[in-house]
Amino acid sequence: MDYYFYQIAAYYVNPDTDPDTGTMTRKSNLDLPQEKSDNDTHILIVDDDATVRFLMNEFMETVGYRSLMAASGEEALEKLRNESVDVVITDIMMPGMDGLELTELIRQKYNCEIIVMTGYSGDYSYEEVINKGASDFVFKPVRFEELLLRLKRVLRERFLKEKLRRLAITDDLTKLFNARHFYKQLKHETDRCGRYKHPLSLLLLDIDHFKSYNDTYGHLAGNHVLARLGETIRKTLRKMDSAYRYGGEEFTIILPETNGEEARNAARRIADAVIAEKFEPKPGTTVNITMSIGVAEYSAGEELEAFIKRADMAMFASKQSGRNRITFYSPEDFS
């Protein structure tokens, strides 16, 4: 325990002081990750030893992270239910739920990283801890300098993982979600809908005469339209809605908790926002873009394909009746 006091005392004198030698370390060693600002990174410290807990907490706050504390695995889970946490640093030997059990439970339920602390004489091996899903492992008594380096590496990897995950579900041109993610989300929403009996609606939008825009002004000008419409759509949506690039110049929007009537209003809002955008594919030429939209409300128990098909047929009807239109099809229209 003396070791902890010694270390934290050194940091209290100056956070840039090496805890072992007392000499000044390079400032960059204590710099926080670029990706998330310091007061945006949340660390949860779990240890039954109050002294360790408070010293670790002080240290985390001193170097700039947001820090939370829990005295047991059970309390840690309670904290995780209510707070968003990036990294949990947990002791392994604790009365009640131990750190390994906690690691396993966190892995099943929460998206956060875990660093496990253990004594040299601990009963657990590195392999055991990592196999349970921990991102890293430190020995007690903890050297703060080492912990900080490990923490930064874990945060960096977390950021890169998240970036890769986002890239895999995002359409590069429009910055909307891609079609693969659409099917996954729609399945998720229809399942939810079945469970909670909440309404759910789907919009399918297709740009009118886009081939002729491309043919007249070129493919790059067409790409510019797609990118800007992606932004326009994103801005028009409510927080719980999600928009996808379904195909080349087709988009879908999932509207949870939304009935057909409200979905038609949402479609109207989007159509108005799209037509208000002025494109200038060449100097002096201003062009407005329109879309044909199909609207469908989910009917309990309906197959995913049938639901999408209904929105697609409604969109097609909008095309057939002259384009720049909104058509709503209820399940009754097909019974």
Residue pair 314/203 in contact by the 8 Å Cβ criterion = no
Question: How would you classify the pairing of strands 87-91 and 113-119?
Answer: parallel
Residue 219 binds ligand GH3 (CB under 6 A)? yes
Whole-number Å distance between alpha carbons of 130 and 262: 48
Residue 316 binds ligand GH3 (CB under 6 A)? no
303 is catalytic: no
Q: What DSSP character marks residue 47?
A: -
Only one of the segments 3-11, 27-35, 219-227, 280-288 lies at the binding site for ligand GH3 (rule: CB under 6 A); that segment is 219-227
Residue 206 binds ligand GH3 (CB under 6 A)? yes
Residue 275 binds ligand GH3 (CB under 6 A)? no
23 binds, options ligand GH3, Mg ion, none, Cβ within 5 to 8 A by partner type:
none
Whole-number Å distance between alpha carbons of 70 and 78: 9
CB of 180 to ligand GH3, least distance (A): 16
C-alpha of 265 from chain center: 28
Residue pair 302/270 in contact by the 8 Å Cβ criterion = no
Whole-number Å distance between alpha carbons of 167 and 185: 16
34 binds, options Mg ion, ligand GH3, none, Cβ within 5 to 8 A by partner type:
none
CB of 177 to ligand GH3, least distance (A): 16
Q: Could you tell me if residue 270 is left (phi over 0), alpha (psi between -120 and 50 degrees) or otherwise beta?
A: alpha
CB of 318 to ligand GH3, least distance (A): 10
Query: Helix 2-13 to helix 144-169 angle, to the nearest 10 degrees?
Result: 70
Binding-site member from 56, 94, 193, 207 for Mg ion (CB under 5 A): 207
Only one of the segments 12-20, 249-257, 276-284, 306-314 lies at the binding site for Mg ion (rule: CB under 5 A); that segment is 249-257
C-alpha of 147 from chain center: 26
Only one of the segments 22-30, 145-153, 201-209, 293-301 lies at the binding site for ligand GH3 (rule: CB under 6 A); that segment is 201-209
Question: How would you classify the pairing of strands 113-119 and 136-140?
Answer: parallel
Residue 315 binds ligand GH3 (CB under 6 A)? no
Nearer to ligand GH3 among residue 144 and residue 246 (C-beta): 246
Residue 175 binds ligand GH3 (CB under 6 A)? no
Binding-site member from 49, 319, 330, 331 for ligand GH3 (CB under 6 A): 319
Residue pair 271/324 in contact by the 8 Å Cβ criterion = yes
187 binds, options ligand GH3, Mg ion, none, Cβ within 5 to 8 A by partner type:
none
Binding-site member from 223, 288, 320, 321 for ligand GH3 (CB under 6 A): 223
Residue 86 binds Mg ion (CB under 5 A)? no
Q: What DSSP character marks residue 43?
A: E
Note if the bond before 141 is cis, omega within 30 degrees: yes
96 binds, options ligand GH3, Mg ion, none, Cβ within 5 to 8 A by partner type:
none
Residue type, 154: V
Residue pair 155/43 in contact by the 8 Å Cβ criterion = no
C-beta atoms surrounding 275 within 10 Å: 13
Residue 226 binds ligand GH3 (CB under 6 A)? yes
Which position among 113, 145, 189, 249 bears the catalytic label? 249
Number of residues that this document lists for the chain? 335
Contact residues for ligand GH3 (CB under 6 A)?
A: 206-212, 214, 219, 222-223, 226, 248-249, 319, 323
Give the residue numbers annotated as catalytic, written as ranges: 249
Contact residues for Mg ion (CB under 5 A)?
A: 206-207, 210, 249
